[in-house]
Amino acid sequence: MQTLPLQAWLVVAAILFSLGLYGALARRNAIAVLMGLELMFAAANLNLLAFWRYKWVQSLEAPVFVTVIILVAACETALALAIVLGVFRRFRNVDIEDVGGMRG
Amino acid sequence: MSQEVALFALLSLITLVSGYWVVRCRNLVHAAFWLMPTFFGVALLFLLLGNELLFTVQLLIYSGAIPITVLFVLMLTREVMRPDRTEFNRLGAFAAAAAVLFLGLCLAGARTAGNPEPPPSVPVGLTRRVGEAFLTDYLLPFEVASLMLLGAMVGAVYLARSDKKARSEVVGLERKKLIDQAREEEKSADAAAAGMARRRGDSV
């Protein structure tokens, strides 16, 4: 661990987060947008754990917090996929550009 | 020590390359399959950080369960995917610009993180300590999380449940279309037969 700086982890997490952001913003299909969100969750967790390892390794907050984040993300994914299925059933389409029925 | 650096470089390469394919792949089924190596790489990075509990959780939930669920939903909605159409919306260029801008901000922030000296090793029995913490200090978040999981499960089943009325409407429409089509075909077949009979009568 001595030779690996904290910045290396932060850079990897930042690139992963940016990839997820691009995917979430640029995709057409709602399911692909969800995949981008998952990448962002993974990057955030990686960042948290890197800080835990380098600065607060004795505390338990970070592992507990990351566990809860993973759980919340799993719930969110299940619900979002169910909503996507509902939208598909209603509109026969899950394209976020075409399904604009709830636009204000 | 340099072994660790090489491992880190390899794992980040796997994670980032497969993450790139998750967001760039045109075929969404392939993109969902690319999620697996991405999350597997992240899980191994967790292990490299010395947290074997979250390595296991990440491996089970993210590398296993979530790509499978995504694949199921893709399978159920597969008629949406059209190979002739681009998978990116009209904001693609703006999205790329936003992502690059965000990356620049993150890198600028990472430079100010300092260079803390990491402790030589993680405490022994971390998993046990986290488990004990979940049943003592963090009991309330644990219970709330379990309730939320239950609620999300019930909600997902409710949302994804097949709506009998809407479905029968769709089925009815499709059946009507099929009946009309069959009637048309019958009519044209009758016309053809009549024409043939007339021609035969002419020749006789």
| ipTM of the modeled complex | 0.91
Question: How far, CA to CA in Å, does B137 sit from each of A99, B130, B132, B176?
Answer: 45, 10, 8, 63
Residue A68, domain member (yes or no): yes
Query: What CATH number is associated with residue A52?
Result: 1.10.287.3510
Domain membership flag for residue A27: yes
Give the C-alpha separation, B28 to B204, whole Å.
Answer: 63
Residue with tokens 């939320």: B148
Cα–Cα dist A35/B82, whole Å: 19
Domain of A54, in residue numbers: 6-91
Could you tell me if A32 lies within 8 Å of chain B, comparing CB atoms? Answer: yes
In a domain, A79, yes or no: yes
Q: What is the mean pLDDT of chain B?
A: 86
State which amino acid sits at residue B152: A
Task: Name chain B contacts of A87, Cβ cutoff 8 Å.
Answer: none
pTM: 0.83
Percent of chain B predicted with pLDDT > 90: 51
**Positive or negative: CA dihedral B84, B89, B93, B95:** negative
Q: How many domains does chain A have?
A: 1
In a domain, A84, yes or no: yes
A104 assigned to some structural domain: no
The Cα–Cα gap between B87 and B30 comes to 13
Q: Which residues of A touch B162 (CB under 8 A)?
A: 89
> Is A102 a member of any domain?
no
Helices (H), B25-114: 28-48, 52-57, 66-76, 92-111
Nearest chain A Cα distance for residue B83, angstroms = 13
Q: B45 to chain A: which residues are within 8 Å by CB?
A: 9, 12, 46
- Taking only the tens place, the pLDDT of each residue in A32-82 is 999 999 999 999 999 999 999 998 888 899 999 999 999 999 999 999 999
Provide the pLDDT for residue B170: 61
Q: Tell me whether residue A45 is in a domain.
A: yes
Per DSSP, A26 falls in state H
